[in-house]
Structure 1
Amino acid sequence: MAGFKRKVFYVGGFDPRGARFYHALAAEQVARFAQLTGEPASVSPRRRAGAFRTDWSILNSTHDVSTEYSFLRWDDIVRKAWIRSPFALAARAWRAYRAYIAHLDFETGKRLGKGPLITLFYPPILSIALPLLLTLIIGGLAAIWLPGSVAFAIGLVAAILISAPLLKKWHAPWLLRFFVFNSELSGGEADPEIEARLDNFAEEICASLDQDWDEIILLTHSNGSILSVPLMVRVLERRGDQMPPNFTLVTMGHCIPLVACRRDATHFHDQLRRLATADFRWVDIGSPPDGAAYFGVNPMAIVAPDPRPRMDLLSPRFHLFYNPETYHKGYANKYEIHFDYLRMGDRRSPLDFPSLMTAARPIDASVAEFRAI
């Protein structure tokens, strides 16, 4: 038996890629950890552990560590919600942004972080402004030789053909789908499929809480952190608010205020208030350059003045652990920055993904080491 046994439940973001992609990413990063540290860490093959769960093991023989990793799947729900038609995406985005403008608490949003607000509104602005600008330029040039109506029709077609790959490169369609999904999650009625899936996840987590683990982590990334709020409420209800001392909720790149700052998200506010009364450990890791996440924001404090959970708000300080030539920075790398939480840099950080998964100690010791750097 391993000297240190860890159980991790992972809830990912709004991503149609499933367990196969994230298993490959974990294997790649753990192999990188082994190469950079000299510790022979490895990732086992995937194994199906339930209708909505895929497991694998992460081993570090140097320190006799075994991490049993459970990928809690909701990527099938994402694929159903993935709007493929550009016309349907435009219509749904129009409704979603009308709701954001009507219900978003902009003052609170600006106070918590301007970066995510820019990320919220640049996809629709860019998706309109870029084709319009190109239409005017190309149509205006073509009008020198052709009738105006013909010239601008040609300009419009050319603008769409040029804009589409550029918008995709800048991840504007993905962000539009992400914001549409969360807008509908905020103000509409509860989605029965998501509610049932969260019930399933809660049962999976609760089944492990009294087992013989040295550490239990609920790890969430991006949109998964929004789902962690109703998920934790379910776990607390099933446990009678009694969480084991070896349990920690870890959120990476959380975007919870995207929903919490909606005035019409009353049920979500109630769930945040419910979390604020509970006693459990919460570690948030958010990078200031990550425009899709809220750095240093305790989401419970949006609706509860004195939240009870023991929460650390940490920046991963990626710039300290990457070489300048490999560090993801600038607007062109916003998408990559948002996934750096699940990677390892050029040097080991106590809070990088493979280090957290292979450490022969609980996360509080890793946080303490990180703070000492």
Structure 2
Amino acid sequence: MSGDQDGQRDAGRRVRRRRVFYIPGYDPIHPRRYRELYRKEGAAQATISGYEITLKPKATAGPYGWQVAARIEGAEVAADVEVLVWSDIVRDSMSNSIAATYLQLLQTAWAYIASGALWRLMRLRKGPVIAALYPVGMLLGQALLALLLIWALARLGAALAPLAGWIGAVIGAGLGVALLRWFKGKDGKFFAYYLMHDYAYSARHRGANPPELEARMTEFGDRIAAALHSDVDEVLVVGHSSGAHLGVSVLADLIRQGRVPAEGPALGFLSLGQVVPMVSFLPDAWRLRADLAYLSARRELTWVDVSAPGDGCAFALCDPVGVSGVAPGDKCWPLVVSAAFTQTLSAARWKALRWRFFRLHFQYLCAFDRPGDYDYFRITAGPLTLADRYRDRVPSKSRIEHPVSKYTSVAP
């Protein structure tokens, strides 16, 4: 079962003050981009939907964030939004060496192919698998062009004189390296290196979290635990893309450790555009699989998972617990719902965005010109808890729940 909210402690609670913790995906860019996105898209959604929302800088010390004042659904709500930053870890994991990136390509391909994870992932959604194969094909294509350049100049030189063939090959090698460097310099358009580093980061430890990430997740947990002992009405954790599986583990740890007070604020977890199977399907993702199973049966929180088939970078409408093969008998989360881009975006807007895959992956954080029951700004700055907002929502009929992963163990 999914989305059964009977017995939720936060039923009927109105929100005047909220703490929001946003966990980004694998992103090396400074978190100010998320403030600007919230400011711009929140204003657009407010105009479309007829409510008021304003931002101002964070007034207290600590991690990066901002304050929101909103009047939504006839109520005034204040929200403190905080970005749980791990962009420094991401930057450190992104090699500056072209050769090292090609080595990562081989290691990552081997991790997914040899384990059988790639073939299992292909049985879910084709979009994210294509997105995973894209950097492999793009980088190999770049290397092939460089080799063809070397070969062509060597042949040209050999046609002129035997010794000139070697000279042509040397010149071709220099130009080939220059070509590879040009492609790397233009990766802001191609995204091949960026995506390769992203997939390599999870594959490097075959699904286990590296030590530096575990340490940062502990810090995230401490921030959230402190908020749960404050006088706010709701603590909302938002995990986008790779940030979704980090949120799963952070919240599972907090509940296991008894750090979620029974009489404290309502606790909500909103996972957006998740790519959980890219990690949970790997052999050594015991920690994540155990956390998925544990969190899916806990009544201390409400967990809503939002995705859309139009997002080719996410495992849209794939229940991350079910497809990972770890659903317990008393599973009640997540509630899997669709943002239905083809319905919540006008025909003109959908046409403009349809082939902008990376932009669509961030649409969950943006305005919809034909909004449905998913509105990021109502959820983060409106007067209803996540539990109340989705209390009567049924899960998507087209969701995938059956086990697909080859690896379902939750301990070494």
Return the TM-score normalized by structure 1: 0.86
2:308 matched to which residue of 1? 287
Distance 2:298 2:224 in 1: 17
Distance 1:11 1:206 in 2: 15
Distance 1:93 1:106 in 2: 14
Paired residue secondary structure (1:160) = helix
Distance 1:291 1:260 in 2: 19
2:70 matched to which residue of 1? 60
Aligned-residue Cα RMSD (Å) equals 3.1
User: Structure 1, residues 87-140: CA drift from partner, whole Å, max 9, x if none?
Assistant: 222222222222121224344322322222221122112211244257548965
2:198 matched to which residue of 1? 178
Letter in 1 for 2:325: V
Q: Is 1:191–2:214 an aligned residue pair?
A: no
Q: Identity across aligned pairs (percent)?
A: 26
Distance 1:315 1:369 in 2: 15
Q: How many aligned positions are there?
A: 367
8 Å contact from structure 1 (residues 142, 155) kept in 2: no
Paired residue secondary structure (2:283) = coil
Q: Is 1:13–2:25 an aligned residue pair?
A: yes
1:272 is displaced (CA, Å) by: 2.6
Matches within 5 A, 1:1-373: 4-47=16-59, 49-50=61-62, 53-61=63-71, 63-133=75-145, 136=148, 147=159, 150=168, 153=173, 156=176, 160=180, 163-164=183-184, 168-187=188-207, 190-239=209-258, 246-279=266-299, 280-301=301-322, 302-306=324-328, 308-327=331-350, 329-330=353-354, 332-367=355-390
Letter in 1 for 2:321: M
Paired residue secondary structure (2:95) = coil
8 Å contact from structure 2 (residues 55, 69) kept in 1: yes
1:257 is displaced (CA, Å) by: 0.5
Paired residue secondary structure (1:293) = coil
Letter in 1 for 2:135: P
1:294 is displaced (CA, Å) by: 0.8
Does the C-alpha gap of structure 1 residues 281 and 37 become closer, same or farther in structure 2, counting only changes over 3 Å?
closer
8 Å contact from structure 2 (residues 15, 384) kept in 1: no
User: Structure 1, residues 122-168: CA drift from partner, whole Å, max 9, x if none?
Assistant: 21122112442575489659956874662765874575367556654
Does the C-alpha gap of structure 1 residues 207 and 167 become closer, same or farther in structure 2, counting only changes over 3 Å?
closer
User: Structure 1, residues 258-297: CA drift from partner, whole Å, max 9, x if none?
Assistant: 1111123233323333324433321011121222211112
Q: Tell me, which stretches of 5 or more residues in structure 2 are unaligned? A: 1-13, 160-164, 396-412
Letter in 2 for 1:29: E
Q: Choose 226-235 or 304-313, whichever is displaced more.
A: 304-313
More helix by share: 1
Paired residue secondary structure (1:65) = strand
8 Å contact from structure 2 (residues 251, 295) kept in 1: yes
Distance 2:390 2:280 in 1: 27
Larger radius of gyration: 2
Q: Choose 332-341 or 259-268, whichever is displaced more.
A: 259-268
8 Å contact from structure 2 (residues 312, 357) kept in 1: yes
Q: Which structure would you say has the larger RCO, counting Cα contacts within 8 Å and 6 or more residues apart?
A: 2
8 Å contact from structure 2 (residues 233, 265) kept in 1: no
Distance 1:322 1:293 in 2: 18
Paired residue secondary structure (1:296) = coil
Does the C-alpha gap of structure 1 residues 177 and 305 become closer, same or farther in structure 2, counting only changes over 3 Å?
same
Paired residue secondary structure (1:326) = helix
Q: Tell me, which stretches of 5 or more residues in structure 1 are unaligned? A: none
Distance 2:390 2:381 in 1: 14
2:7 matched to which residue of 1? none
1:175 is displaced (CA, Å) by: 0.5
Distance 2:118 2:148 in 1: 33
Distance 2:19 2:68 in 1: 10
